[in-house]
């Protein structure tokens, strides 16, 4: 195989991602960058040189990939805006608010240290367009593997952009209305990754005591993998919140575009409840706005949106799909069950700073703990996700559609089956060879019964590759 042709497997539904250097490296990112540049030029219908922002994470391979990407862009005539080491939300903010034609973020998000990748966006009149399955990823894959015909241009340039993070903090304060915030005690575990950058910057602008865990940037991730979806990665944070008698804890992922909240009791707050909290705040001031949430858990946010006279849209799982749906609907906010949160005011892209500020604003105003506030919003109970490594995922989905055919059925993303007081979502992962099950019920006691029922039904039809995880 030609050593300069990138493997097909690295082109995902949301981004480009693989193991360095076997699946993604400096040689592969040269044709990939050329294909990205051509796609953005074509989508913007322009032959003029583009202005492209490039950010990167702290992985050991990121400097080499940055050099390859930026040098290729310069050769194509682009003005490259070097954002330095920034979180993905800061990268999105820069591209959107500063009006660049597009951007490339060098990161593999929450993946282990041997991975790296690229997230790609371009501007549009309605906000950012994330390049994914529906918005150009196949063209990039084809162009980077087959080559693209690009006219030679006068060489471009590289300009360093400073102080983007401070601008992002001020923008978040503006979105939330420059709220009054009490001096709370917070513990944050940045996992030696990028979320610590914006958390630190925020607490230089607002009152509060910030206790830092693993804030030193380190691409080896010496403390633990930067994936708060895995319970073992946040155990130390939960323990520290209790030890410090803190008001809450924060757990961002590797590139900072996901944020998990820990309450004062050391318990993880379900992201659907954070979605409900933000929806309530926004709809209290702007009735009739559209709130979006993904298909996995909908009962609580749906009820809150209805109670506060808003409209809602249910989306497929995945940040590129959600940003696309926000642009289509004009939604003010979207929350995802994996703790991604999106605002119209940030170009329909993830931004965790306004979410943190809204949580602190509500705690200040109501004079209550986070657990008390969250319990007042809860309208349903959630199972947590069960994953199955199976060979016949689609066959299982079809079997459950038939079994529960008397329910309201959605095939938006896998299958979602809804009854009056309970529902479940069963879908294949966009990033891993897994079948994912999520269940929610109005009654806590009945949830476990339904879970056991569904596990038995799935196992009856499954051909396992391995034991269920």
Residue 14 contacts residue 320 (beta carbons within 8 Å): yes
**At residue 467, does pLDDT exceed 70?**
no
The residues carrying an active-site annotation are 109
pLDDT category, 1, cuts 50, 70, 90?
very low
Over the chain, what is the mean pLDDT?
Answer: 96
Pair of tokens at residue 131: 């390049």
**What does each C-alpha distance from 369 to 248, 301, 358 come to in angstroms?**
9, 20, 14
Q: Where are the domains of the chain?
A: 8-161, 167-262, 271-377, 381-461
pLDDT category, 430, cuts 50, 70, 90?
confident
The Cβ of residue 233 has, within 10 Å, a number of other Cβ atoms equal to 21
Specify the CATH number for 381-461; select among 3.30.310.50, 3.40.309.10, 3.20.20.70, 3.40.630.30: 3.30.310.50
The tens digit of pLDDT for each residue in 229-268 reads 999 999 999 999 999 999 999 999 999 999 999 999 999 9
Q: How far apart are CA 435 and CA 464, in angstroms?
A: 11
Q: Report pLDDT for 469.
A: 46
CATH architecture of 167-262: 3-Layer(aba) Sandwich (3.40)
Q: How far apart are CA 397 and CA 428, in angstroms?
A: 9
Unique residue bearing structure tokens 């597009």 = 102
Same fold, 8-161 and 167-262: yes
CATH superfamily of 8-161: Alpha-D-Glucose-1,6-Bisphosphate, subunit A, domain 3 (3.40.120.10)
The tens digit of pLDDT for each residue in 215-228 reads 999 999 999 999 99
The tens digit of pLDDT for each residue in 373-389 reads 999 999 999 999 999 99
The tens digit of pLDDT for each residue in 105-125 reads 999 999 999 999 999 999 999
The angle subtended at Cα 174 by Cα 169 and Cα 180, nearest 5°, is 90
Lowest average pLDDT, out of 1-10, 153-162, 278-287, goes to: 1-10
**At residue 446, does pLDDT exceed 90?**
yes
Q: Report pLDDT for 152.
A: 67
Please give the average per-residue pLDDT across 190-208, as a whole number.
98
pLDDT category, 4, cuts 50, 70, 90?
confident
CATH topology of domain 271-377: Alpha-D-Glucose-1,6-Bisphosphate; Chain A, domain 3 (3.40.120)
């Amino acid at each position: 195989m030609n050593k300069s042709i990138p493997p097909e497997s690295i082109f995902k539904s949301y981004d480009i991602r693989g193991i360095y250097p076997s699946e993604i490296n400096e040689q592969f990112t040269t044709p990939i960058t050329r294909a990205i540049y051509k796609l953005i030029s074509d989508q913007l219908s322009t032959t003029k040189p583009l202005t492209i922002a490039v950010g990167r994470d702290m992985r050991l391979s990121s400097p080499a990939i940055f050099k390859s990407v930026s040098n290729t862009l310069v050769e194509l005539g682009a003005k490259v805006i070097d954002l330095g080491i920034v979180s993905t939300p800061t990268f999105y903010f820069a591209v959107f608010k500063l009006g660049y034609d597009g951007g490339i973020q060098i990161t593999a998000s929450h993946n282990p240290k041997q991975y790296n990748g690229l997230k790609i966006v371009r501007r549009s009149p309605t906000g950012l367009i994330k390049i994914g399955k529906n918005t150009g990823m196949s063209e990039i894959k084809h162009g980077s593997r087959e080559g693209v015909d690009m006219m030679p241009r006068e060489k471009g340039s590289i300009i360093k952009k400073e102080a983007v993070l401070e601008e992002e903090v001020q923008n978040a304060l503006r979105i939330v209305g420059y709220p009054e915030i009490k001096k709370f005690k917070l513990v944050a575990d940045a996992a030696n990754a990028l979320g610590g950058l914006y958390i630190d910057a925020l607490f230089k602008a607002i009152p509060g005591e910030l206790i830092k865990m693993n804030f030193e940037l380190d691409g080896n991730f010496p403390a633990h993998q930067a994936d708060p979806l895995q319970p073992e990665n946040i155990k130390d944070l939960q323990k520290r919140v209790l030890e410090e008698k803190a008001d809450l804890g924060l757990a961002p992922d590797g590139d900072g575009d996901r944020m998990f909240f820990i309450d004062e009791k050391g318990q993880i707050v379900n992201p659907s409840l954070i979605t409900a909290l933000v929806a309530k705040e926004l709809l209290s001031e702007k009735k009739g706005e559209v709130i979006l949430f993904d298909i996995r858990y909908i009962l609580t946010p749906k009820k809150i949106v209805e109670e506060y006279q808003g409209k809602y849209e249910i989306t497929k799982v995945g940040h590129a799909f959600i940003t696309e749906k926000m642009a289509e609907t004009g939604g003010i906010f979207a929350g995802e069950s994996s703790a991604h949160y999106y605002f119209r005011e940030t170009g329909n892209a993830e931004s965790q700073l306004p979410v943190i500020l809204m949580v602190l604003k509500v705690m200040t105003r109501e004079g209550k703990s986070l657990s008390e506030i969250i319990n007042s919003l809860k309208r349903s109970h959630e199972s947590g996700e069960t994953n199955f490594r199976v060979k016949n995922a689609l066959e299982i989905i079809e079997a459950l559609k038939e079994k529960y055919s008397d329910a309201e059925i959605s095939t938006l993303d896998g299958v979602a089956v809804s009854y009056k007081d309970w529902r479940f979502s069963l879908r294949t992962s966009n990033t891993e060879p897994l079948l994912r099950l999520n269940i929610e019920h109005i009654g806590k006691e009945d949830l476990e019964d339904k879970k056991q029922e569904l596990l038995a039904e799935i196992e009856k039809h499954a051909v396992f590759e391995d034991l269920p995880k």
